[in-house]
Structure 1
Amino acid sequence: MSELLGVAVLGAGHMGADHIRRIDRAVGGARVAAVADPDTGRAKEAVAGIDGVTVHPEVTAALDAPGVRAVLIASPGPAHEEALLAAFERGLPVLCEKPMVPESAGALRVVEAEARLGRRLVQVGFMRRYDAEYQRLKSLLDSGRLGRPLMLHCTHRNVSSPPDFTTAMLVNSSVSHEIDAARWLLGQELTSVTVLRPRSSSHAPQGLLDPQFVLFETADGALVDVEVFVNSGFGYQVRCEAVCESGSARIGDEHTMVVTAAGSASEAVAQDYLVRFADAYDREVQAWVDATREGRVTGPSAWDGYTASAVAEAGVRAQRTGGRVAVELAPCPELYRDISR
């Protein structure tokens, strides 16, 4: 247990570079042993100053590098399935950023491959489960103090969208976090999706239908609505209010420093998810490292990753048709049936 966990980080972009920094500086019990990225120059820049790291253009070379005992996948979503299956072949535990696999068919293949192994190797990176505010809300709802949850009102706003951001990605990238958070907070599956669209903001790039209003129904009759606005222009905001039979609870109100000067008051608004959820990412990766060193796998499962992709696909169909679309899930393998959300 005294030996540091050698981690191969796949992807050295915005998210991957932040995880490299996190493992090196903020997380105990682990070290970056290898990094894979087709852009080896970017990878070398991300590991500058870190001793003992090898850089590779290919995933398999990083997985086979000396000292690698675990994998953190932070590459683009379409590359995840191949990387996960390669990790399975080597018996390596994995923390995989969301989406686990963007398409539900590919995500189901990962679930089935892990089920054939007969043990869990994957934790999916739904970091909101590790956010202090979300954890307090989860504990409150589980306690029953406010009675049965009836509705969740969610807000998900970004400053601006990347150049390659599509209308479908409002649901299958941005709202995927709310999909997992709602399932986890309520302990219920999402059974249908409806997407409504107001007129697009003038700040949205041409062809991008932004903002949108997404409505989910759950197996136990609760409703979850999400306002997703990825070109708000002013900041990154994530909020959630649970309305229950005997009260409500809201998280996400920025309790930051308020500056009063020149006849006005102002407070900072986070501009990036890596700022808003910095502590959650730290706790998530630390929990993964601790569990992995003990031979355990905890946190969101491959089944949670598959379900999020399946619900998001239903949401994209609802975007296109303008109607209510039912969520269809494959039968849950025995491996995941006893996992408490």
Structure 2
Amino acid sequence: MSDLLGVAVLGTGHMGADHIRRLENVVSGAKVVAVADPDADRAEHALAGIAGASTHTEAEAALDAPGVQAVLIASPGPAHEEALLAAFARGLPVLCEKPMVPGSAGALRVVEAEARLGRRLAQIGFMRRYDAEYRQLKAVLDEGRLGRPLMLHCVHRNVSSPPDFTSAMLIDSSVAHEIDAARWLLGQELTAVTVLRPRSSDRAPEGLLDPQFVLFETDGGALVDVEVFVNCGFGYQVRCEAVCEAGSARIGEGHGMLVTSAGAAREEVAQDYLVRFADAYDREVQAWVDATRQGRVTGPGAWDGYAASVVAEAGVRAQESGARVTVDLAPRPALYE
């Protein structure tokens, strides 16, 4: 492997462009050598000022470009399965943004394909595992000084939802992060989900059921609740409180500057996930580059992506039916034990 890991970035939208910037200006040990996007102008714009990288409108053309040693997938979710399988066929390590694959059937095909290879190539972009506060909370829970975790209370709020955002996407796009975070923090699988809905906010676009309250059960007897509100109007907020037998621990408070003036105090609230989790994204991609250069995968893998897709799919069924829906995972391949 050369001194710098040559990366092909698939997708140059909001997330992909930010990863290109990160690989070029923040992360050490890597360089962007190819990008792919159906919008050629957008791809060219994302590469502005980066010499030597090629642009393509087809993902496989970028994978076959000279110098490509690894792949970062930041294209829309429905394109992920084909891109992952193409990367596997070429033996290329992958960092794939969530969702790994939107549907559980496709996600299972990815798991089975990687299991047939007999080695892990995919890391899935659940970047909260790299956030300093989440890692601190994980350490507190793992060391056990607060006793057995009983509940996780989670909040996930966005200023506004993007165009064409659907009620199902509150679960399979937004809450997908809490699904993985809960599995990781607790070391337990989610076994059932119930979705409750208050009256929708007047800020919600017509037809969007927002906010929602999602309740998960785990195989360790814990409960996880998530308030998801994607049109709260005032800022981007992610919080999590673990309630244990001998105490509690809470993260997600006070990330903005506190301004005191004229007898009042005002705290700035982040407006975007790329602001709130900037450091987590940096840590995630750096860890991926470092591990890839050593021939390893150390982050959340294809099984975690599959589990999140299955739970999210059950959550959408619960949302639509109003009933409690159980989560049924396929047998875990030995590769992920």
TM interval, shorter chain, is over 0.9
Provide the residue aligned with 2:312 in structure 1: 312
Q: Deviations over 1:98-143 (max 9, x none)?
A: 0000000000000000000000000000000000000000000000
Output the aligned Cα RMSD: 0.7
Q: How far apart, CA to CA, are the structure 1 residues paired with 2:159 and 2:197? A: 19
Q: Quick one: which amino acid aligns to residue 220 of structure 1?
A: G
Aligned to 2:186: 186
Q: CA deviation at 1:2?
A: 5.8
Aligned to 2:332: 332
Quick one: distance in 2 between partners of 1:34 and 1:262? 53
Answer yes or no: is 1:111 the counterpart of 2:106: no
Which secondary structure does the structure 2 equivalent of 1:168 belong to? Answer: helix
Q: Encode CA deviations 1:148-174: one digit per residue, 9 max, x unaligned.
A: 000000000000001110000000000
Tell which deviates more after alignment, 318-327 or 256-265.
256-265
Distance, in Å, in 2 between the alignment partners of 1:71 and 1:164 is 28
Q: Tell me how many residue pairs correspond in the alignment.
A: 337
Question: In structure 2, what is the Cα distance between the partners aligned to 1:322 and 1:254?
Answer: 35
1:58 has 2:58 as partner: yes
Equivalent residue letter for 1:19: H
Letter in 2 for 1:323: A
Written as runs of structure 1 = structure 2, the 5 A alignment for 1:115-130 is: 115-130=115-130
Query: TM-score normalised to the size of structure 1?
Result: 0.98
Does the 8 A contact of 2:107 with 2:305 survive in 1?
yes
Which residue matches 2:151? 151
Partner of 1:216, secondary structure, is strand
What is the Cα deviation at residue 265 of structure 1? 1.3
Structure 1 residue aligned with 2:278: 278
Deviation of 1:256 (Å): 2.9
CA deviations on 1:175-221 (whole Å, 9 max, x unpaired) are 00000000000000000000000000000000000000000000011
Q: For 1:30 and 1:200, how far apart are their aligned partners in 2?
A: 45
> What is the rounded CA distance, in whole Å, between the counterparts of 2:243 and 2:291 in structure 1?
34
Unaligned runs of 5+ in 1: none
- Give the match for residue 250 of structure 2: 250
Residue type matched to 1:14 in 2?
H
Aligned equivalent of 1:208: 208
Q: CA deviation at 1:260?
A: 1.3
Deviation at 1:298, TM superposition (A): 1.2
- TM-score, normalised on structure 2? 0.99
CA contact (8 A) 2:35 2:56 kept: yes
Distance (Å, rounded) in 2 between the aligned partners of 1:171 and 1:219: 20
Tell me by how many angstroms 1:281 deviates.
0.1
Tell me the residue number matched to 1:25. 25
Q: CA deviation at 1:308?
A: 0.1
Deviation at 1:263, TM superposition (A): 2.8
CA contact (8 A) 2:5 2:30 kept: yes
Partner of 1:34: 34
Taking the TM superposition and a 5 Å limit, the aligned residue runs for 1:62-73 are 62-73=62-73
- Equivalent residues in 2 for 1:259-278 (5 A)? 259-278=259-278
| Distance across 2 between alignment mates of 1:174 and 1:65 | 33
Structure 1 CA distance for aligned equivalents of residues 209 and 242 of structure 2: 27
Q: Aligned partner of 1:272: which letter?
A: D
Q: Which amino acid aligns with 1:285?
A: V
Residue of structure 2 in register with 1:241 after alignment: 241
Give the Å deviation of 1:253: 0.2
Distance in 2 (alpha carbons) for counterparts of 1:66 and 1:195: 48
- Aligned partners of 2:164, 2:140: CA distance in 1, in Å? 39
In structure 1, what residue type is equivalent to 2:218? T
Q: Percent identity?
A: 81
1:134 counterpart SS class: helix
Residue 136 of structure 1 corresponds to: 136
After superposition, give the CA deviation of every residue in 1:22-47 in whole Å (9 maximum; x if it has no partner): 00000000000000000010011011
Contact 2:189 2:219 in 1 (8 A): yes
- State the Cα distance separating 1:257 from its structure 2 match: 2.0
CA distance in 2, matches of 1:140, 1:2: 39
The answer on whether the counterparts of 2:256 and 2:270 sit within 8 Å (CA) in structure 1 is no
Are the aligned partners of 2:255 and 2:270 in contact in 1 as well (CA < 8 Å)?
Answer: no
**Counterpart secondary structure, 1:35:** strand
Tell me how far apart the structure 2 counterparts of residues 198 and 103 of structure 1 sit (CA, whole Å): 27
1:216-227 mapped onto 2 (5 Å cutoff): 216-227=216-227
The answer to whether 1:96 aligns with 2:110 is no
* Counterpart in the other structure of 1:76: 76
Q: What is the rounded CA distance, in whole Å, between the counterparts of 1:213 and 1:156 in structure 2?
A: 10
Map of 1:229 onto structure 2: 229
Q: Which sections of structure 2, spanning at least 5 residues, go unmatched?
A: none
Report the secondary structure of 2:240's partner residue. strand
